[in-house]
Every structure is written in C-alpha cells, then in structure tokens.
Amino acid sequence: MDPLILSRIQFGANISFHILFPAITIALGWVLLFFKLRYNATGDSAWMRAYFTWVKVFALSFAMGVVSGVTMSFQFGTNWPGYMETVGNIAGPLLAYEVLTAFFLEAAFLGIMLFGFRRVSNRVHTLATVLVAGGTTVSAFWIIALNSWMQTPAGFEMRDGKAHALDWWAVVFNPSMPYRLVHMLLASGLTVSFLIAGPSALRYLYGDRSESMWKALRTGVFTAAILIPVQIFAGDQHGLNTLEHQPQKIAAMEANWNTGPNVPLVLFALPDEQAKENRFEIAIPDGASLVLRHSASGVVPGLNDYPGNHPPVFPVFWGFRIMVGTGILMLIVSWSAAWFLKRRRSLPKPLALIMVPMAPSGWLATLAGWYTTEIGRQPWLVTGVLKTADAVGPVAGSHVALTLAVYLILYVLLLLAYLGVLLHLALKAAKDGDTSPLPGVMNAALSQPAAGE
Amino acid sequence: MTFDWPTALPLIFAGLMGLAILIYVVLDGFDLGIGILFAAAEDEEQDTMIAAIGPFWDANETWLVLAVGLLLVAFPMAHGTILTALYLPVFVLLVGLILRGVAFDFRAKVPAGRKHRWNRIFFLGSATASLAQGYMLGVYVLGLDVGPGGMAFGALVALCLSAAYAAMGSAWLIYKTEGDLQRKAVRWLRTTLVLTALGMVAVSLATPFASPRIFDKWFLWPEIFYLSPLPIVSALLFLWLWRQTFHLPKPNDQHAIRPFLTLAAIFALGFAGLAWSFYPFVVPDRLTIWQAASAPESLAVILAGTVVVLPIIIFYSFYAYRVFAGKATDLTYD
C-alpha cells in the first residue's frame, strides 16, 4: 500500500479527532469564566452549578485534546520528517512558543481550576480560570499562525533547500493569519454555544426547569445568536482573502472550471474532474461573480488556469457547502430560539428537539471548514515551497496501515465514550436540577462560601 | 576558546532538551508508576492514588511535549531519524498515553458500573506507555539497533524502566498517603527497587560494551577517576534507600518525601551518565548535535523566549504543587 496516502489519511484522522476538542476548550474556558464572574457578581449559586456541570466537560475535552495533541507532535517525525527538515526553521519557533507560552500555563492551572476551589481563595480560582482560558486562546494563536504560514507563506527565503526566516513579524502575521484566527475563534465560540444549548434543551425536554438549566440554555442560545452573523461576515472576509492569495482554492470551492465573468453560484453539483465539468448542476446565474467580485461581470478564477496545480475539486467543493449549510441552519435555529426565549420566556418543544441533535453542529461545520482549507492547499504542504508527497517519511506502507487501523478504532471508541458521558452528565443534571450538591453543602471544610443558599 | 553562537546554541538546546527529558521522567514517572501499581491496589485505594496525581499529571505530561518539541524544533534531522526508526514503539507509547490520559477523566464521570473498566484501561495504558518508553531507551542506547539483540535488550530495559516508574510511584504514594496504603507503598517500593537497580546496571554495562567510542569515554585514565563518583554515589543512594524501606513510615511521618527525592537523584545521576556517553551525538554515532541542529537564528529566537518563560513555568509549577501539598484527599470538582 502507498505510504503517502496512508500517512495522509492517518494525519487527517488524527488532526480531525484532535480539533474537535480544542474547538470546545478554547471557547468553553471563556464561558466558564463568564459563569464564574456572574457568580462573583450576583452570588447566585445557579451560576456556580452551571460552572460545575460544564467544568467537567471542559476537563474531559481538555484531556482528549492533550492526548491527541501529543500524538501529533510525534507524527511530525514518524510520518512527515521532510516537513521539519525543510521548514523547521520557521515551524520550530512557532511550535516552541506554543508549548512555552500556552501548554504549560493551561496544564499547571487546570489542576487549580478543576480541583482547587476549596484550596485557594476565590480570587485565585478566578485567576486560574482566566489563565486556562487565556492559555487555550494563546495556543490557538500560535498554531493558527503556523497553519496560515503554510497556506500563505511570507517573511522567509529559501537557502540550500531550507526555509530561513527573514522577518518574524511577517511570518507570524502572514496574509491569511488574522482572517483564519478570527474565523477559528468564532467557530469555537459557536461550537461551544451549541454544545451547551443542546444538552440544556435535553434537560428542558426532560422537564428540568431549574435555574442552572435556564442559565446555561440562555448563555448557549444568545451567544450563538450573536456570534453567527459575525461569523458569516468573518467567513466572507476570509473567502475574499483566499481569493486574493490562493485563487486555485476558490476555483475548486466554486467548482468553476473556466476563468471568466458572469460565473454562476453553484448550489448543487457533482464535480467531475476527468471531464472538467459539473454534473447535475443547480446554480444561481452570476452568483459567484456577485459574491466574490460584487459585480455580475466580475472575473472569477477557474481551474483551467492551474493545470496540475490545483486541489481535488470534489471534497473542497462539498466541504465548503457543508460548512455554509450548517452555518445557515445554525442561524435559523439560534435566532428562533433566541426570539422565543426573549419574547415568550419559553422554548417550543419541537425547537428544543431540533437543538439536541444540533449540539455537535459546530463540530460538523468546523471539520468541513478545515477540510475545505486543508485539502484546498494540496498538492502543497507549504504553498509553493514543499509538496506533500516530498515530506513523507521512509516508513513501510504496512506499518502505516496497521497504526492507522488501530488509531481509527481507538478514535471511534473514544468518541462514543465521550458522547456517552456528555449524555450521562446532561441526564444526571436533568434529574438533579438545582438539588445537586454545591461546594460547602457537601463537605464542611471550605474556603469558599456558596452564597445564595 | 572564543564564544560563538552557532557552536553554543545547539549545545544549549541539547542541555535544555536533556533537562526537559529528565524532568519528564521524574514527574510523569511517578504518575505512570501509580498507574502500574493500580493492578495491585484495592478499589478505594485507587481513588486515593488518583487523588495523589490528579491535579498534576497534565502538567507532568507537558514536559514530554516540551522534550519532543525541542527535539523537533532544535534538531529536526534527528527527530525524523529517531522517530521513523522507532515507528512502532512510538505508536505503542502514544496509544498507551491516549488510553491512560482519557481514563483519568472517564473513570470519574461514567456511570458507577463502568468505572471498573476505565480503571483497567488506566492500568493498561500506563503499563504500555512505560514499557514502550523503556523499549525505546534500550534500542536507542544500542545505537537504534532494531535487530534481535537490540529487541531483546529493549525488552529487558522496558521491564526495568517500568519497575523504576513503579518505584517512583510508590515513593510518591509514601509522600502523599497515610495508613495502610502508605505501608503497602513501602513494600511496593522495596520490590520494584530491585528491578530498578538491575535495569540501571544493565544499561550502564551495555552502553560501553556496545560502542568502543563510549568505552573509551569511561574507562581511560583519567576519565575513569573523574567519573567514578557517578556509579559510586548511585550505588550508595540505592543501598540507603533499600535500608530505609525497612524503617518507613517514620514516627509522625517525618521525611516522607525523602524516598522520592532519593529516587529522583538516582534518576538524575543515571541520566547524567547517559548524557556523557552519548555526547556529542544526538543520534548515536550518526548525527552530532551540530549536524542535526536548526539554523542559529531560529534557535536564537526560541532561546530568547525560553530564557524568559522557563523560569516562570518552573515558578508556577511549584505553586501548583504547593496548592495541593500534603496528604491526598478525595478529589472533587469543587
């Protein structure tokens, strides 16, 4: 078997599994801080109950993110030695700064955040929450800087086949970096909003009308309703940035085979790369030209300009549509739910029923978006610098096949266990409602008063 | 000798990487060891054992990320060579680390009936990860020899390193627990100490006899004189610790942390010996640290950050350990 394609599937599987959990922890850290600050300000113990319910999800997600992240740091070497050998001078410092400024910060203060409520003052516990949330965000900053540099490299020169940094500012803040970072942070916010709203809706359906359920539900729904239009705008800006710097990716996303004006916006099609045409196409005339160039006669790049140097069309085209479709669904659901919560102070059952399976919708959109941009970078690993095929290591295909099979089984089982725990926690919370024991009630020794009891 | 950065930087980074590996082995050593000891513990003891490491293990494992990260960023050539040669053992290590890392959290959050299953997974993951690390150490010591001889030696070191981790775990439990569990930990320490000593002797003998270059670094005059304190002090510490296991725990639980610190010192001495043997190679007898290093300007950028951040990391790591100082009590999220 071909080690290249197997290694690619393996890395794709690993990084897909990994991103699910940072997508949660980045924003969930800030949501927990919000719960904590509301509790500090109001003394309402329902906020602390919401905190303790969701901090468990945070702990579990964090552990899943750590172990799958460790796996990736090794896979750079085991499967892709050509990557660090060619661009190690750039990627190395960015990864090193991620470990130094983010990983240790998160890991050290996570213990205090999770288990230290009784052992440190309220102020220090809040500070620990800030540092953990900040750490996850700083981590996202560095890794997005590196990923964006691979998409739109800048600030370097090639000497003897190796990249050398010339201007670190240009390396970090490369052309696509700010757009990608904002897009990803918002994606994390939306993932968490729906992740909180879904199980809260489940609790609601089970008849739980406790204050902590309402607080979590409102937080999830209103955050989603606010973030989704911002995300649509940010995504559009990111798309225009891609049009400028990676036009071949846009051509594949739009399945546009020929450069020209009056390009339609394809809603549905089965792109056929052999025949260089779309089958079963449903399209809005001039749509793509209008979206991308704000004029019906605007010229949109086509795949014919990049023979042999453009990404595979089918997955990029569909990845993009799944992401956008999920986003539109998120907009409809979150705005309807927000309207009912605001005006009627209740939630219609059918809407709650839709929100439960929407809990992982952020995962779907995030994965689809990353597939679009990462497959859209092919055949390059680092655009214009290093081809994916040139970075793969000298490991036998049979070895990669074996490890890939075990990883896949492991990831599926872990994902099922993770979702099972989420469901278990939601059902338990629904049963306990506001009677779940609070710190200070359960045990005597406590530095923290749980006010409002 | 004039000081020049292109020579000094790879050396500094080799030192930093060594430091990160040593800290990792000591810190994750005790929590991996406690995972191994899970097999010998009762159900309620397991909860206390988890409580003794729960707030720390995440940060402990981060030192592995730093060590591999430094290998990756400072010595990219070596990173590729070593990790492709050890492809399958690395994979086994990762599966072990994944399983134990998530078992930590799952065992506390699943419905009560399933807890037992995750306890077993925690043990299996910890044992697998430790064995894989030992195996890799054995193969690396023989110069990445993956023939039958190398594999057999790797298997021996795998067993001994796991025992050494279990010894670290026992010593940590002596520090963090009391009563029956503490007395049990003392017995565990005594048993595992034997295999730990055997492993250190095996590695110390195998390294020079596998490579004439390393033999000359140790057994020529005057090196043999300057280096003799390393094995002698290690042996004395071993003996002292062995005798201690008959007198622990002390009245009023005095000096409960001493076994742990003694073991850490033994690890450090053994590690220093290995470092001396392999210097200046990062891939034994193939790549020196200078041949494998990244460009000096990139190393300088990383060093600037490291110099500022590493002391802060060490400071707040100490703080986190202090917050959870004293005997372990049940871990709750509040």
Note the pLDDT tens digit of each residue in B94-142: 899 889 888 888 888 877 778 888 888 999 999 999 999 989 888 888 7
Residue B328 domain-assigned (yes or no): no
Residue B166 domain-assigned (yes or no): yes
Cβ(A353)–Cβ(A345) below 8 Å: no
Residue B20 three-state SS: helix
A414: which chain B residues are within 8 Å (Cβ-Cβ)?
98, 102
B69: which chain A residues are within 8 Å (Cβ-Cβ)?
73, 95-96, 99
A90: which chain B residues are within 8 Å (Cβ-Cβ)?
298
Nearest by CB to residue B301, choosing from A93, A111, A421, is: A93
Whether residue B6 has pLDDT greater than 80: no
A62: which chain B residues are within 8 Å (Cβ-Cβ)?
58
The per-residue pLDDT for B331 is 65
> How big is the CA angle at A253 (ends A252 and A255), to the nearest 5 degrees?
55
pLDDT in tens, B157-173: 888 889 889 999 998 88
Strand partners, A386: A382
Residue B305 domain-assigned (yes or no): yes
Nearest by CB to residue A52, choosing from B76, B317, B333, is: B333
- Calculate how close chain A gets to B247, using CA atoms only, in Å: 32
Residue B237 domain-assigned (yes or no): yes
A116: which chain B residues are within 8 Å (Cβ-Cβ)?
55, 323-324
Q: Which whole number is the average pLDDT over B316-327? A: 81
Cβ(B169)–Cβ(B37) below 8 Å: yes
Q: Which whole number is the average pLDDT over B65-79? A: 83
The per-residue pLDDT for A448 is 43
Task: Give the best residue of A89, A131, A136, A138 to mutate against chain B (max B CB count within 10 A).
Answer: A89
B91: which chain A residues are within 8 Å (Cβ-Cβ)?
78, 403, 406
Would the CB atoms of A104 and B80 count as touching at under 8 Å?
A: no
Nearest by CB to residue B97, choosing from A70, A108, A407, is: A70
Would the CB atoms of B72 and A100 count as touching at under 8 Å?
A: no
Neighbours of B173 (CB within 10 A): 31
Across the 453 residues of chain A, what is the mean pLDDT of every consecutive 10-residue run? 85 91 93 90 84 87 87 82 85 87 86 82 88 92 94 88 87 92 94 93 87 88 93 90 86 83 83 80 81 83 83 89 92 92 86 90 93 90 87 82 90 91 84 61 36 36
Overall size of chain B counted in residues: 334
Would the CB atoms of A56 and B301 count as touching at under 8 Å?
A: no
Find the residue in A nearest to B86 (Cα). Answer: A78
Find the residue in B nearest to A79 (Cα). Answer: B84
Find the residue in B nearest to A18 (Cα). Answer: B98
Residue B327 three-state SS: coil
- Calculate how close chain A gets to B217, using CA atoms only, in Å: 30
Whether residue B267 has pLDDT greater than 50: yes
Residue B1 domain-assigned (yes or no): no
Find the residue in B nearest to A119 (Cα). Answer: B323
Would the CB atoms of A96 and B73 count as touching at under 8 Å?
A: yes
Find the residue in B nearest to A420 (Cα). Answer: B110
Would the CB atoms of B323 and A89 count as touching at under 8 Å?
A: no
Residue B122 domain-assigned (yes or no): yes
Would the CB atoms of A112 and B302 count as touching at under 8 Å?
A: no
Would the CB atoms of A81 and B297 count as touching at under 8 Å?
A: no
B68: which chain A residues are within 8 Å (Cβ-Cβ)?
70, 73-74, 77
Would the CB atoms of B76 and A100 count as touching at under 8 Å?
A: no
Residue B260 three-state SS: helix
B102: which chain A residues are within 8 Å (Cβ-Cβ)?
60, 63-64, 67, 414, 417
A403: which chain B residues are within 8 Å (Cβ-Cβ)?
87-88, 91
The per-residue pLDDT for A33 is 92
Percent residues over pLDDT 70 in chain B: 98
AA letter at B159? L
The token duo for A15 is: 């990084």
pLDDT band at B333 (very low <50, low <70, confident <90, very high): low
Kindly report the three-state secondary structure assignment for every residue of chain A.
CCHHHHHHHHHHHHHHHHHHCHHHHHHHHHHHHHHHHHHHHHCCHHHHHHHHHHHHHHHHHHHHHHHHHHHHHHHHHHHCHHHHHHHHHHHHHHHHHHHHHHHHHHHHHHHHHHHCCCCCCHHHHHHHHHHHHHHHHHHHHHHHHHHHHHHCCCCEEEECCEEEECCHHHHHCCCCHHHHHHHHHHHHHHHHHHHHHHHHHHHHHCCCCCHHHHHHHHHHHHHHHHHHHHHHHHHHHHHHHHHHHCHHHHHHHCCCCCCECCCCEEEEEEEECCCCEEEEEEEECCHHHHHHHCCCCCCECCHHHCCCCCCCHHHHHHHHHHHHHHHHHHHHHHHHHHHHHHHHCCCCHHHHHHHCCCCCHHHHHHHHHHHHHHHCCCCEEECCCEEHHHCCCCCCHHHHHHHHHHHHHHHHHHHHHHHHHHHHHHHHHHHHHHHCCCCCCCCCCCCCCCCCC
Q: Please state the ipTM of this predicted complex.
A: 0.82
For residue B124, the enclosing domain spans 9-323
Would the CB atoms of A95 and B317 count as touching at under 8 Å?
A: no
Would the CB atoms of A108 and B331 count as touching at under 8 Å?
A: no
pLDDT band at B10 (very low <50, low <70, confident <90, very high): confident
Average pLDDT, chain A: 86
- Calculate how close chain A gets to B330, using CA atoms only, in Å: 10
Residue B193 domain-assigned (yes or no): yes
In sign, the C-alpha dihedral spanning B101, B103, B105, B106 is: positive
pTM score, two decimals?
Answer: 0.87
**A28 burial class (0-12, 13-18, 19+ CB within 10 angstroms)?**
buried
CA distance A194 to A334: 9
Find the residue in B nearest to A425 (Cα). Answer: B109
CA distance A271 to A263: 15
Would the CB atoms of B72 and A84 count as touching at under 8 Å?
A: yes
Q: Which whole number is the average pLDDT over B59-80? A: 83
CB neighbour list of residue A261: distance below 8 Å, 6 or more residues apart = A289, A296, A297, A298, A299, A300
The residue ranking higher by pLDDT, B184 or A133, is A133
Percent residues over pLDDT 90 in chain A: 31
Task: Give the best residue of B84, B94, B316 to mutate against chain A (max A CB count within 10 A).
Answer: B94
The per-residue pLDDT for A372 is 92
Whether residue B3 has pLDDT greater than 80: no
A60: which chain B residues are within 8 Å (Cβ-Cβ)?
102, 105-106, 109
B73: which chain A residues are within 8 Å (Cβ-Cβ)?
84, 88, 91-93, 95-96
Residue B332 domain-assigned (yes or no): no
Local structure of residue B282 (DSSP, 8 states) = E
The per-residue pLDDT for B330 is 65
The per-residue pLDDT for A223 is 93
Nearest by CB to residue B97, choosing from A67, A78, A91, is: A67
Would the CB atoms of B333 and A114 count as touching at under 8 Å?
A: yes
Find the residue in B nearest to A58 (Cα). Answer: B105
The per-residue pLDDT for A438 is 55
Would the CB atoms of B65 and A85 count as touching at under 8 Å?
A: no
Task: Give the best residue of A11, A60, A73, A94 to mutate against chain B (max B CB count within 10 A).
Answer: A73
The per-residue pLDDT for A25 is 93
Task: Give the best residue of A51, A90, A99 to mutate against chain B (max B CB count within 10 A).
Answer: A99
Cβ(B138)–Cβ(B205) below 8 Å: no
Would the CB atoms of B84 and A88 count as touching at under 8 Å?
A: no
A110: which chain B residues are within 8 Å (Cβ-Cβ)?
58-59
Give the total number of structural domains in chain B: 1
Find the residue in A nearest to B292 (Cα). Answer: A85
pLDDT band at B57 (very low <50, low <70, confident <90, very high): confident
B334: which chain A residues are within 8 Å (Cβ-Cβ)?
52, 117-118, 438-439, 442, 448
The per-residue pLDDT for A435 is 66
Instruction: Provide the phi-psi class of A433: left if phi over 0, else alpha when psi is between -120 and 50, else beta.
Output: left
Computed on alpha carbons and rounded to an integer, the radius of gyration of chain A in Å comes to 23
Would the CB atoms of B324 and A118 count as touching at under 8 Å?
A: no
CB neighbour list of residue A192: distance below 8 Å, 6 or more residues apart = A23, A24, A27, A28, A31, A220, A223, A362
The residue ranking higher by pLDDT, A169 or B275, is A169
